[in-house]
Chains A and B, each alone.
Chain A
Amino acid sequence: MALKDITLGQYFPGNSLLHQLDPRTKLIAVTLYIVSLFLAYRFVTYGLLFLLLALAVRISRVPLKSLVGGMKPVVFILVFTALINLFYTPGETVLLKVWVLTVTLEGVLSAFFMVARILMLIAGTFLLTYTTSPILLTDGMESLLGPLKAVHVPVHELSMMMSIALRFIPTLIEETDKIMSAQRARGADFESGGLIRRAKAMVPLLVPLFISAFRRADELAVAMECRCYHGGEGRTRMRRLQYQGRDWMVLGLMAVVTVLVGVLGRMGW
């Protein structure tokens, strides 16, 4: 069993326009996109947003297969939502009536749009994580949350913690793999037995793992202090985020789409 095979974070390295966009632009754009999804009402507005999504996927060159693959965990929610909407939407045009269950045209439409909304919402956010490396994403969030510093929210510290956590996930997985092998070589058995036996079998894995995590944290803190780290105050950055022309264009497009969808939705389209 190789824990290493688990893909963590879904970043797909690439060089498309979507990859090159400023992470802040992408964060804002996705937020606007989600807002529009909730403003959308019928075919025209949903169709518009779908076209936008299809275009973005196309530009990003993220394989459709991995995008669809990521949807698997939500299948249950989708089915559940669809059924609830299908049977419990009151309406005039009754299509089918079996026992206490009534299916109306309104119900069918509502189920369809609900599923479409969830799918597009997930696809949109996936696209963000597929095209933005976790580090850039934290940088973008830090920059966007910057104004909160005025009310004493430790924005820099929070984002530093997040970057460090992200940085150490692969390291800890590797470490887990190593300790598991070492204990298995001494006859430890992680796979068989009841719940209690299995929980007990985790002790030889978790104790060394925790110790090494603390040791690493300690070493990292010392290394950072040696290099005079003292928080965000007056700290310069290696990657400086800068809006480019294309960022303004994308933001402008998103603003227009949001307003358009809002207005059209209101008009019942």
Chain B
Amino acid sequence: MQPILETKKLSHVYSAGTPFERGALLDVDFTAYPGEYLGIIGHTGSGKSTLIQHLNGLLKPTGGQVFFQGEDIWASPAATRQTRFQVGLVFQYPEYQLFEETVYKDIAFGPRNMGLEEGEIDRRVRQAAGFVGLREEQLEKSPFELSGGQKRRVAIAGVIAMEPKVLILDEPTAGLDPVGVESILGNIRDYHQAHNATIILVSHSMEEVARTVDRLVVVNDGVIPYQGTPSEVFRHGPELEAMGLGVPQMTRVFNRLRAMGVDVGRSVYTIQQAKQAVLDAMAGKGAE
């Protein structure tokens, strides 16, 4: 399958040629396939934010290339601009970027920059608002009257309204309560299914990515040491822990149980799987 987004030997050095020079990415080969739900995980300063800003052309690589649907995004200014519309990026704490008088206008900012006609903008704004669960009457309110969680929904809707083929979200659930986390993750899943879009979820919470993504990419010190399905990645428990990432709590409990000699399955990282594994183990014991 042709990747929708791909980087080849992507490197980025900040403040090159000054005493403050530091490398953030080093020869990174990253791929995202159409329609997949991908997780990027790494602790603060690992280079994950730098990586995603390359994926929609906000940062220019100091080495290597970035391809969107097989085309170099820096080949021409038009290609770069197109990529910014096709690859939507929701930054961390996006609620701080709201500026318009009404929620409606703020969500319409992106589509309007794309040069769409009024009717299409209206359709997209209402649809995007629907995805994130904003009510009709909230559209005419000032975004600054809303609560923190609702502001974030507005900001996410602002990117969704551009109907990007790839939607990248940098820690979309940071600072939300558990109910808010669930509902935002649900909204993202809805968009994923409705548009068959590629989703890239950046997080530092293993729990969160473990139960949402199909494939996981670990970023550490500017390189990608591991990638694969969550269960493949979680096999590197000790190494992940050394990077300050760790594995989900459930996986840790079960790894420990196995170390103590209990016969339980390997790929356990959610409570449901844990329940099943415990039941299986008990059934096994009962049979003896």
Nearest residue in A to B15 (C-beta to C-beta)?
A5
- Asked if residues A187 and B99 are in contact (CB atoms below 8 Å), the reply is no
Pick the residue among A2, A5, A178, A188 that contacts B91 (CB under 8 A): A178
Residues of A within 8 A of B109 (CB): 183, 186-188, 204
Nearest residue in B to A184 (C-beta to C-beta)?
B58
Residues of A within 8 A of B264 (CB): none
Q: Give the distance to chain A from B213, nearest Cβ to Cβ, in Å.
A: 22
Chain A interface residue count, Cβ-Cβ cutoff 8 angstroms: 20
A165 sits at the interface (CB 8 A):
no
Residues of B within 8 A of A185 (CB): 56, 58, 84, 88-89, 91, 159
- Asked if residues A184 and B94 are in contact (CB atoms below 8 Å), the reply is no
B98 sits at the interface (CB 8 A):
yes
B42 sits at the interface (CB 8 A):
no
Residues of A within 8 A of B113 (CB): 186-189
Residues of A within 8 A of B159 (CB): 185-186
Residues of A within 8 A of B144 (CB): 211
- Having A181-B91, A204-B99, one finds 9 other A-B pairs with CB under 8 Å, namely A178-B96, A182-B94, A185-B58, A185-B159, A186-B158, A188-B113, A203-B99, A207-B99, A211-B96
With A178-B91, A181-B53, A181-B58: A187-B114 Cβ-Cβ less than 8 Å: yes
Contact residues, B107-135 vs A (CB, 8 A) = 109-110, 113-114
Number of A-B contacts (CB under 8 A): 57
CA distance A239 to B78 in the complex (A): 55
B18 sits at the interface (CB 8 A):
yes
CA distance A234 to B247 in the complex (A): 52
A31 sits at the interface (CB 8 A):
no
A28 sits at the interface (CB 8 A):
no
Contact residues, B244-284 vs A (CB, 8 A) = none
CA distance A184 to B204 in the complex (A): 25
In the A-B complex, the 8 residue pairs with the closest CB atoms: A187-B113, A207-B99, A186-B110, A182-B97, A185-B89, A182-B91, A204-B99, A181-B58
Residues of B within 8 A of A16 (CB): none
Q: Give the distance to chain A from B20, nearest Cβ to Cβ, in Å.
A: 8
Nearest residue in A to B81 (C-beta to C-beta)?
A187
Residues of B within 8 A of A182 (CB): 89, 91, 94, 97
- Asked if residues A187 and B96 are in contact (CB atoms below 8 Å), the reply is no
